[in-house]
Structure 1
Amino acid sequence: MTNTVTELNPRRWAALAVLSASLLLITMDMTILNVALPQISADLRPGAVELLWMIDVYSLVVAGLLVAVSALGDRWGRKRMLVSGFTVFGLASVAVLWADSPAEVIAVRALLGVGGAMIMPSTLSMIRNLFTDARERATALGVWAAMAAVGGALGPIVGGLLLEAFSWHAAFLVNVPIMAVAVVTGLLLLPESRNLSPGRWDVLGTVLSMVGMIALVYAIKHVATEGLDAWTALTVVLAAIALTWFVRRCLRRPDPLLEIRLFRGGAFTSGTVAAFTTSIAMAGMMLLMVQWAQLVQGYSPLQTGLAMLPMAAGSAVLSPLAPALATRIGARTVLAGGLMVGGLGFAVLWVAPTTYLWVAVSILLIGAGMGSLAIASAVIMAGAPAEKAGSAAAIEETSYEIGGTFGVAVLGSLATALYRAELPEGATDAVRESLGGALAAARAIGSSDLAAQATLAFTESLRTTSLYGAVLMLLAAAAVWWRTPARLDLATAQH
């Protein structure tokens, strides 16, 4: 049993604006940090391990808290959880003013992760309860997906503009006024909703979900940076035991912390696969494209952000249109077709010359393919009853989080291996480590040939990695086409 808002809630579109703006900021903030890291490093002089924790702690905290926070929001109140998340995110951003050491910046990033874990799934579950009409919900989720894509692309642009005028603290402080407005408008516009029959809180399940997710994300990141070693193997085993135990526990309980049984529906599974695969592709592509733009093309951070705009444009245009397309040609066609368009974007990068014109075409197609995520979100949320909205949102957000981590780790590691294979024999460790290291070494010894060889090796690795990305997207499209019901109607889709 759940209390829901009325179907024609007069404030639902204004509430969507609040939810979308908060998501825009969260996704924008993730990419702003990448631009600010050089200044942070120059100012605070973090060690290699500290720098890694600055980057990783946010995703580790989010991954560990997503399931528990989503379930708590269903019980305590989704509006309360969301507004509390706004508050935590804003206060953590203010706290950066007192951060004058790497450890303190890491602590701020961890607090931002707590706020992000409270905000991200809450936006989805609130949309599920605000828009009781499934077709309106699909449109709302299209706007939500577009904001996520635009935020990721705007991050480097906003970050570049801020850092040209202010210190690296501005990359955090930009959140404060927006979060303040979000708290006030959220209190005024958002209706409260919760699951009125949640059952007993599963303490052991909460611990298992946190341990399992943190161990899994940490293992993936550790493999990408350090390779497979004993510590990584131990973390993988811990993640496997904890998550297997958690899933079995959820399947046995009548009131599970996470409703795993939602995966019994083909449409729900397809939506999750689409979200997971697209997140892998996007995270890996952004990692490689930013390096290509800055190190190969010599773009500044601001120019790099502007260069990535075609990706945001493709998604911003297609995401709101996806529900209408699904009504005309079917949700399955749009869902699988979006993945195919994204795969085509990767293929363009593989077959065409690596110039900005073709890169722009490639990322435009990839961004357009992201439009299918609007349908993926609609299918996922429509496939869950209102009282299980938190579980559905947690599953989708977990798919994004794990997919993004896989994208950086797997595609990033693949590109690194291919880069090293393209280098001439006898290359030094600094040259083999990364293109940035190779260019620094080339400048140190005044060797233009070394710089040219490393740049060519990176470009070839980027093209080959794009081939693997295309194959991944096309395989996912085939799986989604197979699992999604042919006559799926978003107005009636249920698990």
Structure 2
Amino acid sequence: MTRTTTPAGPTRARPPAHPRRWAGLAVLSASLLIVVMDMTILNVALPALSAELRPDSVGLLWIVDVYSLVVAGLLVTAAALGDRWGRRRVLLAGFTVFGLASLAVLAAGTPGAVIAVRAVLGVGGALIMPSTLSMIRHLFTDPRERATALGVWATMAGLGAALGPILGGVLLEHFSWRSAFLVNVPVMVAALVLGRWLLPESRNRRPAAPAHSGRPSGTGRWDLPGTLLSTVGMVALVYAIKHLGKNGPADLGALVAAAIAAVALGWFVTRCLRRPDPILDVRLFRGPAFSAGVVAALSTSIAVAAAMLLLAQWMQLVQGYSPLETGLRLLPSAVATAVLSPLAPALAARIGARTVLAGGLAVSGLGFVTLAAAPGPLGYGTVAAALTLVGAGLGALAVASAVIMAGAPPERSGSAAAIEETSYELGGTLGVAVLGSVAAAVYRAGLPPDRLADAGLTGPSAAGVRESLGGALEIVPTLGEAGARLAERAQAAFTSSLQWAGAAGGALLLLAAALVWLLTPRDLDLAGGHEH
């Protein structure tokens, strides 16, 4: 029988390959695609939703943010549940919750109801995301097949982010904004049926204590205090990031949330280090390859989340494209990702995972720099070139999941999956909050109050113009000839804000590329499944 060496110690017999593993991968990938698309599809649907429901600025912020807030808070708990009570069971529960929440949008007629729907969707997403990744580790026992499967998984994650606006545009051309939610329902029904048939159950019946802990292995009791600490800490952290990014250090509530996050997460990490069977194995960060993969996931998510949100608004509000036209014009990123992602594992086997991972970050960083350094007025040609470079870099980053899993033994796959998914969620939150705040500051600087006063705008009207480009364009028709000049100035300010956010994202990714190059072992073997 074929034998492999794992980081856990001695040589072990490799379990037989599951006969329906590739069909199971198709179910896992399709479900992940929908969950990730749900994060970006709202970017295109947001103007139509806002026009119908008229949420205030706080309500709009919660509609956008509550999904990631809930997902980030529950990922660790969901992964631990899957490890202990069955990954398929948790995954199917996630399909059910996600489908029912998507259907509930039919009854959502107020901003508060939409916020509630998005929160329940977050519960479903948290149950689905880590389960898809950890199940791949157990479906594919051959390391080379596993690397390919993880590449496919990463491709679906990248494509979901890019295809969300396209699908949203197609739906909004013919239906209301609710269709952006209802499209999830048939996919979740199919995933539920096929998942029961194709996916095997897997769990850790005896979570192993780390060899250096000096404590015996055992199933252990569920760590309820640790669960509460991780949930409270992550929710408080995401809340603090979002509100400090929007309101600055004067926001007392955000500062309190940051303090709560620091205490809760610090206590959680200490608790995990002391327990023989923690719900999240933070010791994984001792592996440099694992840390490198997490850095890649986090930094990419920060840059891409902010850029895609700003680009979707720029195309609609500055260039005047329809939702469908906007989605199609974001396609270069998805195409480049789809072409290069399947090639990334083979490329890593030939030239090394370190080169592919750091190189992908650098290429994406150059894409953002291209967006920022465009000579003259920013046009779609420059944006398309930038999107192509960003997508190519994301395609190379398909090996990031394989690098993360290479640094984690099979019995800790749930923890590894939770950390990776938390990196993506936290990165998206940081991107929108921090880079979004950079963009907002640049936009407001381009519309100083004295200039608006010259156009007859003061008080709430001026505040609305400086709050968002959408608010400015709503006021324009009431100003006559001065309105055209205001629209032009506001659009120029928004374009400048997009370019400054691109510059910040590019600098971040280039810095991350250097860090990943230093962290990743030169001889990391993805096929062998461990660090040397």
Flag the 1:282–1:7 CA change in 2: closer, same or farther, 3 A: farther
Q: What's the CA shift for 1:442?
A: 3.1
Give, in whole Å, the separation in 1 of the partners of 2:46 and 2:13: 43
Aligned residue for 1:430?
464
Letter in 2 for 1:377: S
1:469 is displaced (CA, Å) by 1.7
In structure 2, list runs of 5 or more residues that go unmatched.
Answer: 1-7, 208-219, 453-461
User: Which one has a bigger Cα radius of gyration?
Assistant: 2
Q: Quote how far apart the aligned CAs of 1:449 are.
A: 2.0
Deviations, residues 161-194 of structure 1 (Å, cap 9, x unaligned): 2233223332222111111110111011111110
Counterpart in the other structure of 2:434: 410
Partner of 2:71: 62
For residues 102 and 305 of structure 1, what CA distance do their matches in structure 2 show?
A: 25
What corresponds to 1:440 in structure 2?
Answer: 474
Contact 1:288 1:462 in 2 (8 A): yes
Q: Determine whether 1:232 maps to 2:232.
A: no
Residues 171-320 of structure 1 mapped to structure 2, 5 A cutoff: 171-198=180-207, 199-228=220-249, 229-320=251-342
Distance 1:155 1:128 in 2: 27
Give 3-state SS (helix, strand or coil) of 1:298's partner. Answer: coil
Separation (CA, whole Å) in 1 of partners of 2:116 and 2:345: 41
User: Which residue matches 1:449?
Assistant: 485
TM superposition shift of 1:4: 11
- Paired letter, 1:77: G
Inter-CA distance 358–215: structure 2 relative to 1 (3 Å threshold)? same
Cross-structure match for 2:386: 362
Whole-angstrom CA distance in 2 between matches of 1:166 and 1:458: 29
Pairwise CA distance, 1:466: 1.9
Per the TM alignment, residue 241 of structure 1 is displaced from its structure 2 partner at its CA by 0.5
Q: How does 1:301-340 map to 2 (within 5 A)?
A: 301-340=323-362
Letter in structure 1 aligned against 2:118 = R
Q: Note if contact 1:4-1:193 (Cα within 8 Å) is conserved in structure 2.
A: no
User: What CA deviation, in whole Å up to 9, does each residue of 1:95-147 have, x standing for no partner?
Assistant: 22233333322222211111100001100001111112222112111111111
- Shift of residue 47, structure 1, vs aligned partner: 3.6
Matched position secondary structure for 1:489: coil
Q: Number of residues paired by the alignment?
A: 494
Give the direction of change, closer, same or farther, for the CA distance of 1:460–1:52 in structure 2 (3 Å limit): closer
RMSD: 1.9
Does residue 380 of structure 1 match 2:404? yes
TM-score, normalization by structure 2: 0.89
Structure 1 residues without counterparts, runs of 5 or longer: none
The more displaced of 49-58 and 475-484 is: 49-58
| Structure 1 residues 201-251: Cα deviation after superposition (integer angstroms, max 9, x where no partner) | 111100000000000011111123333311111000000000011011111
Equivalent of residue 144 in structure 1, options 153, 178, 182: 153
| Between 119-128 and 411-420, the greater mean CA deviation after superposition | 411-420
Map of 1:394 onto structure 2: 418
Query: Partner residue of 1:469?
Result: 505
Indicate the percent of aligned positions where both proteins have the same amino acid: 67
Q: Runs of 4+ in structure 1 displaced over 6 angstroms? A: none
In the aligned structure 1, how far is the partner of 2:346 from the partner of 2:514? 22
Letter in 2 for 1:161: V
Equivalent of residue 29 in structure 2, options 13, 20, 25:
20
AA aligned opposite 1:411: L
Q: What is the rounded CA distance, in whole Å, between the counterparts of 2:383 and 2:48 in structure 1?
A: 28
Q: Secondary structure at the match of 2:522?
A: coil
After TM superposition, the structure 1 stretch with the greater mean CA deviation from structure 2, 152-161 or 411-420, is 152-161
Question: Post-superposition shift, 1:493?
Answer: 4.1
- Output the amino acid matched with 2:463: D
Please say if 1:44 is aligned against 2:53.
yes
